[in-house]
Structure 1
């Protein structure tokens, strides 16, 4: 460790980092002072101390808000990561002292939620009944962001960009088939043939444009010379998607594992439209070069025991 690093570690305090983190989110020093139970002059002095210690201005003072400088953004990102790790450490320590097994934060894409994920969590809770499990259910791009910020220990999902392989390791577990579907009473539900050109003119429920599934749909449209789906609602919520399809007559695309029961019951209908380029395998994603904690390693072991290479979800 350099002399500068030693000096910073010895003098930089969590209170400085909490101030920077809170101010980065709100941009209002008065509000931050109230949150931290101190006077505004005391908060101003603490910020000045942090800037003096770091030798750089962290915020630009503007009439309506405090705005991060480039260096301030770097420091605020570090503060947020460290505070999350500190809070997670404190929660896990309290859990262990109470006779539990600590805590584990995981993320998962929606394809895993009907079967694999609940079974894996149930098995993990059998092994470690007092472990606190925090779950984020989202699209792969959101999970990778959470993983990069140390908000979760691992993710069940897929890499979304070639550059992701530089930051993350992935252990493939299974594949998933995507279905385009409607409500069972939709005019297209009984059709034996439907084209993407027809569907492109109808209202859709889609994931955000950064998600792998959304990119696949747009790639399929582009290869058929069709434009974007302009009549759309965007959401990451499975429940909102299903309700909009069933009650608002919209078109959507979801994994087979989520839809198979609803189609069998006659609530939804799979449309005879094939997506020619299905998504790659989903797997266990971890930060590159990082050894999983005991809790994370146990969960990974459970996932491996419940899947076979190339198995299809649903």
Structure 2
């Protein structure tokens, strides 16, 4: 026999309840949320009361600046967001299948995979399933893991960022990455045969945001060498912006060899003679623990496995 709450969810909870809880958790203003959902405020209030009655607990607290989720409300809002994303993915995939396609697949990847592994893998997958819709989120590993935990993507090509990540995610290693610290070819440090890390601390850097694996590695390395924090910096997740700021604004940065090798070979950039004492850990296929991948996700994983030795820069 199903538990009472599960019976209530199956029998009474509707998408209108999920939409309202999700929107209210993000917006906090019942009047504005009602307008977004094209209904009156009393109607929105009734839907909220219905949801609270079904779940048996208050979901929001009214405060002077809007409505704030209770602890239970925040938990319910996370569930509502996941269910709405799943419904959107389902309808997109259904439309694609009815049109003769292969459904849809949402994946995430760190930017270091974009010069080699990822484009080849996507090209191969499109050969196998030409009408499948692929959605790609390119971001740092911490952002990808958050998206994976929210079911926004089916899998990620990246790395775990904390030891406790292994409790929620499984990683199948694909390759290791070598990191290079670099500058523009005409940067004053580019002509130096030897450079200490401390000498670069006073200069302008382009860094990934705090929390990303590469930023944490650099902060740790600077701290271990007694240099302190890098305060003169621009933070961005964009490789395109990083390369332009290094080339045109005279900044220093750190990126994987796979991204830089062509620019260094052509003379656009110069690898600085600084060795990092730590690495980022393996790059791999990350999935949620205890979950069987969909057919599309399993096919993409198979493609990645067969190509793991192909890109020399990532091998």
The TM-score normalised by the length of structure 1 is 0.97
In 2: Cα distance, 1:126 partner to 1:227 partner: 50
1:276 alignment counterpart = 277
- The list of structure 1 runs, each at least 4 consecutive aligned residues, that deviate by more than 2 angstroms after superposition, is 308-312
Aligned residue number for residue 100 of structure 1: 101
Where does residue 165 of structure 2 map in the other structure?
164
**Equivalent position of 2:251 in the other structure:** 250
How far apart in 2 are the matches of 1:251 and 1:198?
12
**How is 1:72-221 mapped onto 2 (pairs within 5 angstroms)?**
72-221=73-222
Match of 2:61 in 1: 60
1:185-212 deviation digits (Å, cap 9, x = unpaired): 1111111111101011111111111111
Instruction: Give the length in aligned residue pairs.
Output: 314
Aligned position for 1:26: 27
Superposition CA RMSD, Å:
1.4
Q: Is the 8 A contact 1:103 1:295 kept in 2?
A: yes
CA contact (8 A) 1:173 1:311 kept: no
Distance 1:23 1:161 in 2: 32
Q: Secondary structure at the match of 1:188?
A: helix
CA separation in 1, counterparts of 2:210 and 2:61? 33
Q: 1:35 — aligned with what?
A: 36
Normalising by structure 2, report the TM-score: 0.97
Is the 2:117–2:311 contact (alpha carbons within 8 Å) kept by the matching residues of 1? no
Partners of 1:262 and 1:31 lie apart in 2 by: 50
Where does residue 313 of structure 1 map in the other structure? 314
Structure 2 regions of 5+ residues with no counterpart?
none
Alignment partner, residue 287 of structure 1: 288
Deviation string, structure 1 residues 198-249 (Cα, Å, up to 9, x no partner): 0111111111111111111111111111101011111111111111111111
Contact map agreement 1:106 1:153 (CA 8 A) in 2:
yes
CA distance in 2, matches of 1:94, 1:123: 23
The alpha carbon displacement at 1:56 in A equals: 1.2
In the alignment, the residues of structure 1 paired with residue 107 and residue 140 of structure 2 have an alpha-carbon distance, to the nearest angstrom, of 13
Q: Structure 1: 5+ residue runs without aligned partners?
A: none
